[in-house]
Amino acid sequence: MTETNYDVVSVGGGPAGLCAAMYSGRGMLKTLVIERGLTGGELLNTDVIEDYPGFESVKGPELAQKMTDHALKFGAELVTDTVKSIEKREDGDFDIETELGKTYRAPTVILTAGGTPRKLDVPGEKEYAGRGVSYCAVCDGAFFKGEVLAVVGGGDAAVEEADYLTRYAEKVYIIHRRDELRASQIIQKRAFANPKIEVIWNKVVAEVHGEPKGVAHLTREDTQTGDTSRLDVGGVFIFIGFTPNSGLVKGHYEHDAGGYIITDSNMMTSISGLFAAGDLRVQLVRQITTAVGDATTAAIAVEKYLAEKRDKELEAVAST
């Protein structure tokens, strides 16, 4: 079944997708948002947000709901489904195919699908996923009250999540492969001041071990000597980055070595009519503010793109 009555489809319902839908809906464009789960994206995995203008402190899920309500207020439609592919047709429109067997057709698409967490790809990780191996502290932290936990990674997300987990855990180890963290200084300062956090330098997780109820301990490997050792923990939270969901697009488009999409200043990709915003786009930083900034530009650019497209079609008709 193909639905064709949309001006623009936003693929992804995180901050970028919802902001884009709010702007395009407000611009009187028939707008659809396709999101595979609850709207909000990574906001749902964030406990407290302190760097979004106008909100000195706001819960991630609360901000997600406000963004969703705002988009719906201006007429955007929301579908819960998983996009399988985005393909440009010969007539210039796009077909967006989903897992539920639907095909949505529109002259423009704003891709805001974010990314998926990167895995360690070590023995035991897959086997104990959901039983002690997690990629979301906010989602699963409350299940580990009184436990000793490990967080793998050294960036902002890893250090912030380690700090968050201390509200439940007895102790949290941050395991990092280097001798210094990549997290911003303000986040590091907060972590180092937390008596429940201990950083384990120059180590990687070589294997996750468990028992029927879940994770029991880890095998650590020293990145300098290769020596291994045991670390007893009741859970491990992995924050080593994510892979952009840019592979949904069929056909060639410009991207960097990591698969992040290259756009122009209007958020247009190298495929005419296909725009990208948020975390899957090549940029210096990936924050909520940059995601909604991208989306604002993309939505307004879509409106201008469609207006120009209609003018050209009218000129073509008038000249025949």
Taking Cα atoms as reference points, which of 221, 226, 227 lies closest to residue 203?
221
- Cα–Cα dist 125/118, whole Å: 12
Taking Cα atoms as reference points, which of 235, 238, 276 lies closest to residue 256?
276
Catalytic residue (one of 139, 179, 264, 311):
139
* Residues 6 or more apart in contact with residue 259 via CB below 8 angstroms: 243, 244, 246, 247
b/e for 122-138, b at 16 or more Cβ within 10 A?
bebbeebeeebbbbbbb
- Cα–Cα dist 14/17, whole Å: 5
Catalytic residue (one of 47, 81, 95, 136):
136
In the block, tokens 């760097």 appear at 51
Taking Cα atoms as reference points, which of 294, 288, 249, 286 lies closest to residue 14?
288
Catalytic residue (one of 140, 156, 163, 279):
140
Q: Is 140 a catalytic residue?
A: yes
Would you please indicate which residues are annotated as catalytic (active-site) residues? Answer: 136, 139-140
